[in-house]
Structure 1
Amino acid sequence: MDHLQPRQRWMSVLAHSQPTELLAYWQPLNLNPQFQRLRAPETGLTQLQGRMGGTGKRFVMGDMTVTRAVVQLDSGVYGYSYVAGRDKAHAELCAIIDALLQVQGMDELLNSKVIAPLAAQQQARREERARQIASSRVDFFTLVRGE
């Protein structure tokens, strides 16, 4: 994820965050930004598409529930979020944090106290999952009979 632009990176971290973990890092900061909801959190469906082998024709895998929100800070900065699932409070908090991360001075605080720890937890979960999968990996091979 290091190759992403800063905003892409924090949006990805926020979207993949667990609501309880996000709150655990957000609440100790005691930030109460003034904002207005431009688009109140709302839940809908989006279609998931895939490609056979990653390169073939597209096909619809199914639908996924997504919640989105848009806020505007009193300073005029907009914050957006799309999160998987139906948690409206999570989507709104992600939008607020996105807006605050665009404010000079707040970005360093939020990156160090919220984004970096969440990214580290997500990376640890990915590595643990990869270890679990690797432990059950089976290598198939064919013996060639010499004649």
Structure 2
Amino acid sequence: MKTTTEQRQHWMSVLAKAPPETLLGLSEDAIKDIHFDIIRAPEVGLTQVRARMGNRGERFNLGDMTLTRCVVRSSLNTVGHSYIAGRDKTHALRAAQLDALLQDPQMGEVLMERVVQPIESMLADARASKQRETDATRVDFFTLVRGED
């Protein structure tokens, strides 16, 4: 089964947002027997962030953010890429390694089950918890209609 662009975008997003310790812990056993050639070593750089007011209107330059990228080739002859917000080179390397392995049909299924899905579930739980905290502080305003004087 060939992976689609949407599937790859999804798992790359999950890997990029994963807490580094969790990502390394869940994936250590899966990659220990695989050899990787580093095509582009993890390197830190800047990218410009653009935004819109209220998600409408003209785009403007919001500012710069640090980004770490990496490219590797696995012994399965797949190439993995990663782009991680921040300066964590270990995180970027592991995400690129996992991207390469997830493209292999046999390894991909195992890694989706053992690494990507648990991290995805953890991230969803964290989002839900943050949403509950936010909802607890919500104030609903209403206006009473006054009659004619």
Q: Same fold (TM over 0.5)?
A: yes
Q: TM-score, normalised by structure 1?
A: 0.92
- The answer for the alignment partner of 2:126 in structure 1 is 125
* Residues 37-93 of structure 1: CA deviation (Å, up to 9, x unaligned): 111100011111111111111112221111000001133211000011100011010
Aligned counterparts, 1:1-147, within 5 A: 5-29=6-30, 31-147=32-148
Q: TM-score, normalised by structure 2?
A: 0.91
Distance 1:32 1:146 in 2: 78
**C-alpha spacing 1:28/1:77, structure 2 compared with 1 (3 Å):** closer
Unaligned runs of 5+ in 1: none
Distance 1:67 1:32 in 2: 25
2:105 partner letter: Q
SS of the counterpart of 2:54? helix
* CA RMSD after TM alignment: 1.4
Distance 1:135 1:21 in 2: 29
Q: Which has the higher contact order (CA 8 A, sep 6+)?
A: 2
Cα deviation, residue 108, structure 1: 1.0
Distance 2:57 2:76 in 1: 47
Over the matched positions of the two proteins, sequence identity in percent amounts to 47
1:136 partner letter: T
